[in-house]
Amino acid sequence: MTYIVNDNCIACKYTDCVEVCPVDCFYEGENMLVIHPDECIDCGVCEPECPADAIRPDTEPDMEKWVEFNRKYSEAWPVIITKKDPLPNADEMDGKEGKMELFSEKPGEGG
């Protein structure tokens, strides 16, 4: 089992999760985070930290696409281990539908 970040993170990018991760398996894109599924130790401490409810276990239905999505971008983006401010419109974007249209493949700064 692993945890994944889904599209609820897009345009919010809360980073509360990275502070509690004991293995530093979060990676930062321009407007979201992902978890490297091979590095995640399935501890689950990140899930309740996410204000956007964007972190889910891969055991839930239809999560295979998110495991591959997280794998792809975690191999391209820099690791993030330090909490940062969320994106400026995070509160407004939290819970919005159709956020994949806003997804950016660009890497974040990491750190």
Model pTM score? 0.96
Cα angle 35, 82, 38; round to 5: 20
Are 35 and 9 contacting, i.e. CB atoms less than 8 angstroms apart?
no
Question: How many Å apart are CA 60 and CA 17, to the nearest integer?
Answer: 20
Mean of the per-residue pLDDT values for the chain?
97
pLDDT digits 0-9 by tens, 7-45: 999 999 999 999 999 999 999 999 999 999 999 999 999
CATH of 3-87, one of 3.30.70.20, 3.30.1450.10, 3.40.190.10, 3.20.20.105: 3.30.70.20
